[in-house]
Structure 1
Amino acid sequence: MVKKAIAAGILAGLVLFAIFQQFYTIEEPEAIEASKAATGIGAGMVSPNFKLKNLAGEEVSLKDYRGKKVMLNFWATWCPPCKEEMPAMERFYKEKSKDVEILAVNLDPQNNVISFVKDNDLTFPILLDHDGSTQQTYSIISIPTTFIIDEQGLILKKHIGSMTYDQMQELMK
């Protein structure tokens, strides 16, 4: 009986934490210089760099995208909300790729990611987090999770959960 109560308490705490993160949004920082900002995963912090391989086996670094806004999305092939937002992400990428880069970090590369990408006609870059280090660095607990990163590498916003095309447009403003 005590074990059930403890498990229920832990589960309730996790649910409250997820709800809090879903609605917790920090607005864009006031003109913070990237060179003076600390590295971390909070708004106004410099996004931690990573190097991951894309589907072609080429190494990609987040720093390669400095000078361009980035939508950094963490997802998995088995995740229903991730699957739900993929068509909107593809539409957004096709229409906005001159202004915004999408980097979709897959967290289950042991599954057939290439087949998933082909089946869904995805053209934005897919990166594979083989060892889970990037997931750990960005403290990804729930997926999909998306970070909006500005041209200097500063994190502007974090969104947990599936997004619509309109939400993507709003987040990128």
Structure 2
Amino acid sequence: MKRSLYLIILSLLFFTVLLNPYAVMAKKEKDFPLRIGDPLPSITLTDLEGKEHELRQSHSTPFILNFWASWCPPCRDEMPVMQQFYTEKKELLPIIGINLFETEKGEKEVQKFLEQFGVTFPILLDPNSQVAKQFNVFAIPSTYLINEKGMIIDQWIGPLTSEVLQEWMQHPSLHK
């Protein structure tokens, strides 16, 4: 009896995973999500002044890409650390912030946040979270290290710390 029940449950689990249409669709989707080792896709976003920026073309050096929102407590925690790092290391490893604008109350809220934390690194707006979806951002803050060839070489989920940023400065892929 126990064996039959065990086989039935195991069979149900197997067929649920095997025949799940969402699992099949995920296998067919080749652009999503981006992973470590993948090249940065062509991404064009606008800043708060409405100027367009194409990430792949605008950087021939490594950079940090950070997804955040003004209402996010961990994003608030990391902002002073990131701003200090940017002030000291922007020539070696610049930071670009991508605001999940669709989740914000409006542009004024984002601007207020940036002023409150004295943010001077570039901030781009992801108006309908399309870029966040490409990166499979499921929690914010989420941060990616991009090398000079435009390849994703590392990822950090949660608030960045000075220790993580210092480790990234020493990342072997940045010193070839």
| TM-score bucket (shorter structure) | 0.7 to 0.9
Of 80, 93, 104 in structure 1, the residue corresponding to residue 97 of structure 2 is 104
Q: Which has the larger radius of gyration?
A: 2
Distance 1:39 1:154 in 2: 15
1:151 aligns to 2:141 (yes or no): no
Distance 1:62 1:121 in 2: 23
2:70 match: secondary structure: coil
Q: Deviations over 1:34-89 (max 9, x none)?
A: xxxx9962122101221111111100111133311110000000111110000000
Shift of 1:165: 1.6
Shift of 1:169: 1.4
Q: Name the residue aligned to 2:62.
A: 69
Q: Please list every run of 5 or more consecutive structure 2 residues that lacks an aligned counterpart in the other structure.
A: 1-30, 171-176
Amino acid at match of 1:59: E
1:126 aligns to 2:119 (yes or no): no
TM-score (norm 2): 0.72
Q: Name the residue aligned to 1:89.
A: 82
Distance 2:35 2:136 in 1: 11
Amino acid at match of 2:146: I
Of 48-57 and 118-127, more deviation after overlay is shown by: 48-57
Shift of 1:92: 0.5
Shift of 1:132: 1.3
CA contact (8 A) 2:41 2:56 kept: no
Q: What is the total number of aligned residue pairs between the two structures?
A: 136
Structure 1 or 2: more helix by fraction: 2
Amino acid at match of 1:136: K
Counting only pairs closer than 5 Å after superposition, residues 39-54 of structure 1 correspond to structure 2 as: 41-54=34-47
Of 59, 76, 80 in structure 1, the residue corresponding to residue 73 of structure 2 is 80
1:83 match: secondary structure: helix
1:163 aligns to 2:156 (yes or no): no
Percent of paired sites with the same residue: 37
1:85 match: secondary structure: helix
Q: Please list every run of 5 or more consecutive structure 1 residues that lacks an aligned counterpart in the other structure.
A: 1-37
The root-mean-square deviation of aligned C-alpha atoms, in Å, is: 1.7
